[in-house]
Amino acid sequence: MMSPNHVSEDRGPPQSASFRHTPLQIIHVIGNFMRIWSIYSMYHYLSQTGASVFLFMFSCLVPSSILFLAFQKPWKGRPLSNAQVVPSVINGGITALYFILWVKGLKSCGPVRAILAEYSGAVLGVLSAALYGRKSHLWRKVGGLIAIMASFYFLAQGWAMASYSPFSFKDSIDSEVQTENVLGVKEMVVPIIAGILSALRRVIARRVSLKNQLKRRLHAITTASATCFLFPIAMWDTILGSTSASSIVLPFSAWPYLNTILFGIILIFYVDSIAEERLHMVFSSPRHLMVAGGCIIVLEIAYKMDFSLPGFMICTTILGFGIYEATSLDRYKKDALHTRNISEGSLDDQIQMPSLPT
């Protein structure tokens, strides 16, 4: 006859659950690597040619929106309500503003600081705690916010660059290494605001669409709306000709455009959707930052950038700690719910499984 201990052991989760997520984790790493690679390609193209930021992003958003509309076909299937379409259109304006500010920040601050500034959206967690969270956890979120701001200050001071890092022991920098300048706090404001807008557009998309398929259909509308918002700005910039006076005339290269369209806009959306739905990994999370940090290290070395590994590790560690504390509200709720489910489950086992007769 079966014993109670044997029944409770069969109720445990299978150990092979983590192995099922391994292919998805590999896809997530590869997708983020390709996206960050497209950022480095974009940075070198914009810095060498002095091309217009508005025209470059508009040229990338037009084919991206066409491909999203062709893939998702938002006009087919269940009709979308105005309560879903109108916020998606407004989200398109936020997305267009995010792209403009972030690419400008990329051009002026460099890839490392621009990529890490995207995680400034974690400050929305502090705002949510102040409005809806427990006051006992507010001080931890404020501490996380201070850590995030400190990491951005150290990045602006050049801690991630071998030329200015206090942890770099090189007497001279190789002539082939591409150096960057030390920035002030004001220069970091633009990519930080772009990171907050990026988090805001993700929150709006998550609130409007409850189902995964609906989220993809609405994202096609958002991308098309962002293209429409960016069209008059790009045309006005083209008419005025706001290219840099010190720009170098180089042959047209389609690779930065294709790289940004395929990997920087289209592929990364599906990869982040898979990570959020299947791996429960949101963008502003320490795990996502760890993946991005590894990709940055590889590409900084491959492109022979002015890079200090110890300074970069210190900045990302402080940033990861700040993100962990600033986004801790949902984690507290999940831990409390998990503890409650365990206690209820053990109580059910005691009630439903009396001692069996011998």
Q: Model confidence at 165, in pLDDT bands (50, 70, 90)?
A: confident
Q: What is the pLDDT of residue 112?
A: 95
pLDDT tens-digit map of 240-297: 875 444 444 455 678 999 999 999 999 999 999 999 888 888 898 999 999 999 999 9
At 90 the pLDDT is: 96
Structure confidence at residue 355 as a pLDDT band (50, 70, 90): very low
Note the pLDDT of residue 171: 52
pLDDT band of 19, cuts 50, 70, 90: low
The pLDDT score that the predictor gives to residue 263 is 96
pLDDT over 80 (residue 194): yes
Question: What is this structure's pTM?
Answer: 0.82
CA dist 356 and 24 (Å) reads 44
Q: Residue 352 corresponds to which amino acid? A: Q
Distance CA 112, CA 77 (A): 42
Q: Is the pLDDT of residue 7 over 80?
A: no
Q: 93 pLDDT band (50/70/90 cuts)?
A: very high
**Residue-level pLDDT at 240:** 82
Instruction: Quote the pLDDT of residue 151.
Output: 95
**DSSP letters spanning 35-75:** HHHHHHHHHHHHHHH---HHHHHHHHHHHHHHHHHHHH-TT
- Pairwise CA distance, residues 31 & 17, whole Å: 22
Average pLDDT (309-319) is 95
pLDDT-above-90 percentage for the chain? 54
Mean pLDDT of 141-145: 88
Which of 252-256, 314-318, 325-329 has the weakest average pLDDT? Answer: 325-329
According to the model, what pLDDT value does residue 123 have? Answer: 86
* String of DSSP letters for 212-228: HHHHHHHHHHHHHHHHH
For residue 136, what pLDDT band results from cuts at 50, 70 and 90? low
